[in-house]
Amino acid sequence: MPDRLAEVTRRYRAGVEDWQARRDAHVARVRRWTDPLRERRARGEAHPVLDFLFSYYSYRPSKLSRWHPGPGVVLDGPAAEEYLRWPAYRAVPGGVALGALPESRRESVGFIHELLTATAARAPRFGCFGLHEWAMVYQTDDVRHEAWPLRLGTDGTDRVVESLPVRCTHFDAFRFFTPAARPLNATELTRVDQVSHEQPGCLHAGMDLYKWAYKLDPFAPSELVADCFELALDIRELDMCASPYDLRALGYAPVEIETAAGRAEYARRQAVFTERAAPLRARLVSLCAELLEG
């Protein structure tokens, strides 16, 4: 392995000014999202759109702010030695760099590679219209965002679910369906067959690119993690605008998927996100392959 490590780390040596500039730019970029979060938390406020990526996903704001260069980069200068406090890093000729992927993480990285490769190979589908959020409150008074009213009320929400085909392909959305809504889905989804059903048109598959990126920490370049976060945040806005909740008080105009015009708008915006997600998914697939080969 020492020869392989030397081969990898020879690819790119980052001078002190170069890598510190990358680090500082990343920290500044991420603060646009983490500073308002900390301010809301200090005030005891919760935001159903902007807080989701910090509450549903497990990556802490402090970790999102931490910069990592990714594999094949040698950090130069005395300041690089601070990276040696993380076990993934090694002292190498010329500085500090990531070592090889630990054997204990190969299974996880292999799953991410398999899932994202299978997803990328499928044609996107745009016929779900965001009904997953509606199915999560179908025939129940126990809503996830209780501080916000249902735009059509309980009965009106139920009628929308009953009037349209429910075609969710994402298990981590499906698992939050109410018991009454699950039989309405076109497919009974399970964790075991997740790889068989994930498709690139799904909003949550796009949002989850952020999860798969941070699951590769610290081997994923932090710029890639932040790119995935930014995509996920933009997707979350459409996700909630098309949901049954009325968020107009927060400045979010509803996408009225109960109408033909609203469904067309949802599908159009869904297609744009699918195009944005594709290169990020490809970068993650390539990164996983590189880590598994190392």
Give the residues of the chain that fall short of pLDDT 70: 1-16
C-beta separation of 88 from 168 below 8 A: no
Q: Where are the domains of the chain?
A: 2-101, 105-293
**For position 144, what pLDDT does the model report?**
80
Q: What is the DSSP string of 131-162?
A: HHHHHTSTT-S--S-TTS-BTTHHHHHHHHHH
φ/ψ (deg, to 5) at 101: -60, 130
3-state class of 89 per DSSP? strand
**For position 146, what pLDDT does the model report?**
81
Strand partners, 90: 97
**For position 142, what pLDDT does the model report?**
81
**For position 103, what pLDDT does the model report?**
96
pLDDT per residue as tens digits for the range 144-200? 888 899 999 999 999 999 999 999 999 999 999 999 999 999 999 999 999 999 999
C-beta separation of 200 from 279 below 8 A: no
**For position 145, what pLDDT does the model report?**
81
Query: Exposure of 185 by Cβ count < 10 A (0-12 exposed, 13-18 middle, 19+ buried)?
Result: buried
**For position 8, what pLDDT does the model report?**
44
Q: Which residues of 151-182 are buried (b: 16+ CB within 10 A; e: fewer)?
A: bbeeeebbebbeebebbbbbbbbbeebeeebb
CA 143 to chain centre: 23
> Token pair for residue 95?
């500085």
Q: Would you say how long the chain is, in residues?
A: 294
**For position 5, what pLDDT does the model report?**
44
pTM of the model: 0.93
**For position 1, what pLDDT does the model report?**
39
